[in-house]
Amino acid sequence: MKIFLDSSDISEIKLINKSGLIDGITTNPSLLAKQEGNFKKILKTIATEVKGPISAEVTATHSNKMIEEAKILQKIAKNIVIKIPLTLDGLIACKYLTSKKFKVNVTLCFSPSQALLAAKAGATFISPFIGRLDDVGENGVQLIQDIKTIYKNYNLKTEILAASIRSLDHVRQVMQIGADVITIPPKIFGDLYRHELTDKGLESFLSDWKKSGKQIS
């Protein structure tokens, strides 16, 4: 499974990317709006730091304007992936852009039928928002399973990018289902490797070693 970081905070991205475990980045207008400075420079810096796919989202709502913005965003860096909302205009733009060899991440997916249309439009990634579905009483993780089944039935190559992940339980479930990618905020990344028993075990080992008076040299 690929792990993307859902962030536009350059300092956070650089710190976590030192692990060598980050395969890509997803951003959105809300995340970029929180950062000071020119958004193009921010995206350029991110795309230089992380060599994998960097999702940058259009803000237009009409397909023609989406395509214009996509061309601007794609010029920022070679690894930019154009992020487009799952609307009819978005699907039209996706179909055009993928025909021109753009990589496209279709976002704000909340149903299996939407995911099917995005794949037929040539989307590189589909981003189902599981946490937001949970918020309204639906089963977000089940949507990942439904999409995976549909894509397997028809041999569709669009990668399932599980988004709006709120907890380690979400991560566990989508890993078990077999999502191609997860995108997670920095806090959830930290939760992936932290465990109370790991901390206690390390503390015990180091305490015993200190008492022995021995050194590794």
Residues labelled as active-site residues = 83
Enter the DSSP assignment of 163: B
* Strand runs labelled E in the chain: 2-6, 24-26, 54-57, 80-85, 104-109, 125-128, 159-162, 181-184
CA dist 209 and 103 (Å) reads 52
The pair of three-digit structure tokens given for residue 196, joined into one six-digit string: 């109370």
Instruction: Name the CA dihedral angle for 7, 38, 85, 106, rounded to a multiple of 10 degrees.
Output: -60
CA dist 215 and 205 (Å) reads 13
Enter the DSSP assignment of 100: T
